[in-house]
């Protein structure tokens, strides 16, 4: 066999070898699926949305070595998303609750994420919100909802049962240690339209008396939200100033004795900055399966 003939015979085999697994190659190069920190895990992104001068995306980290088990669910903000954000405007007469000056961005999760969360809202609060002197600093709220968008939108003061649903709290077995509604009953329950009732960790540094050695100004905290007798969202809340420090922080979360729905739930929340990707990440992490 001549040299030219041998080359002609081998060429198709070489091409076949190079493209033996084109699907895998294409998946690895997809911009919405990138390797995560651990070998065999990948970060899957949802659709990007314009925030400030940049983009925000929801994401989930899946362990493809373990049938796509979810490890982390979060929000990624590119560096430019913290710039050119809406500025505060004067409240209008009769404007209602303090969240009325916030700007909401609805983020969709990637398909097949395997977590109990149905969607995420990113809220930019240019002037913060109540309580005054605590959370009235420019900050982001990240609401991870376990209900549908239609159910969330039905949390409306026009509902005749709005007050009753707000005052109907989850059973104590579902309440994490140290969490309570502020101010406590019998004061009226402060329910936010299209959000619900906020539960705070009473050990949070920003909630301590200003004279306490444990007091610190608000930089980040974690909130649970309830409505009509069930918890409906988990919420990291973080100041823009703290994000700009490019932190690398993991905070353990108090765990309730039981969960209302089976699924993968966070045991930590993380605030990190990836210098290579130039991306801030706010995540519910170390997911564990609970029944």
How far is it, in rounded angstroms, from Cα 169 to Cα 181? Answer: 9
Whether the per-residue pLDDT at 55 is higher than 60: the answer is: yes
Tell me, rounded to whole angstroms, the distance of Cα 143 from its chain centroid. Answer: 6
**What residues make up the domain containing 30?**
26-290
In a domain, 17, yes or no: no
Specify the pLDDT at position 14: 41
Residue 3's pLDDT is what? 41
pLDDT score for 91:
60
The phi and psi torsions of 225 (rounded to 5 degrees) equal: -120, 140
Tell me, what's the pLDDT at 98? 55
Give the three-state DSSP class for 11: helix
pLDDT tens digits for range 2-23: 443 343 443 443 433 343 443 3
Asked whether the predicted pLDDT for residue 143 surpasses 80, the reply is yes
pLDDT of residue 102: 87
Q: What is the dihedral of CA 81, 87, 93, 96, to 10 degrees?
A: 30
Range list of β-strands (E), 36-185? 41-45, 49-51, 54-63, 69-78, 102-107, 119-125, 139-145, 179-181
Residues listed for the chain:
291
- Residue-level pLDDT at 88: 85
189 band by pLDDT with thresholds 50, 70 and 90: confident
Predicted confidence (pLDDT) per residue in 23-38, tens digit: 343 344 477 999 999 9
Structure tokens at 23: 């699907």
User: What distance in Å separates the CA atoms of residue 141 and residue 99, rounded to the nearest whole number?
Assistant: 11
Residue 18 lies in a domain: no
Inter-residue contact 204 to 235 (CB < 8 Å): no
* pLDDT value at residue 145: 98
Structure tokens at 271: 């605030």
Structure confidence by residue, pLDDT tens digits, 124-139:
999 999 888 999 999 9
2 domain-assigned: no
* Residue whose token pair is 């190659």: 25
Domain-located, residue 9: no
The domain tally of the chain equals 1
Whether 222 is covered by a domain: the verdict is: yes
Quick one: pLDDT band at residue 183, thresholds 50, 70, 90? confident
Asked if 122 and 140 touch (Cβ cutoff 8 Å), the reply is: yes
Distances (CA, A) of 106 to 65, 123, 146, 193: 31, 9, 14, 16
> Is 19 inside any structural domain?
no
Choose the most confident range, by mean pLDDT, from 74-88, 93-107, 174-188: 74-88
């Amino acid at each position: 066999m001549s040299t030219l003939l041998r080359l002609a015979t081998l060429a198709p085999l070489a091409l076949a070898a190079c493209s033996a697994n084109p699907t895998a190659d294409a998946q690895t190069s997809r911009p919405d699926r990138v390797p995560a920190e651990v070998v065999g895990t990948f970060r899957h992104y949802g659709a990007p949305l314009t925030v400030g001068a940049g983009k925000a995306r929801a994401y989930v980290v899946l362990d493809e070595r373990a049938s796509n088990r979810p490890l982390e669910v979060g929000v990624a903000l590119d560096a430019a998303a913290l710039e050119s954000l809406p500025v505060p405007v004067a409240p209008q007469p009769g404007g209602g609750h303090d969240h009325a000056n916030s700007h909401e961005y609805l983020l969709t999760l990637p398909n097949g994420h395997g977590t109990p969360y149905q969607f995420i809202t990113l809220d930019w609060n240019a002037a913060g919100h109540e309580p005054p002197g605590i959370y009235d600093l420019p900050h982001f709220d990240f609401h991870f909802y376990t209900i549908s968008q239609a159910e969330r939108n039905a949390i409306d003061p026009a509902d005749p049962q709005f007050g009753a649903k707000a005052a109907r709290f989850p059973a104590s077995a579902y309440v994490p240690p140290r969490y309570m509604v502020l101010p406590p009953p019998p004061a009226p329950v402060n329910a936010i339209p299209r959000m619900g009732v906020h539960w705070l960790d009473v050990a949070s540094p920003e909630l301590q008396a200003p004279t306490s050695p444990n007091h610190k100004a608000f930089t980040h905290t974690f909130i649970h939200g309830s409505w009509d007798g069930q918890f409906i969202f988990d919420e990291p809340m973080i100041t823009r100033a703290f994000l700009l420090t490019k932190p690398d922080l993991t905070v353990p979360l108090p765990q309730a004795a039981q969960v209302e729905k089976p699924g993968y739930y966070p045991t930590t929340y993380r605030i990190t900055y990836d210098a290579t990707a130039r991306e801030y990440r706010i995540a519910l992490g170390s997911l564990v399966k609970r029944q």
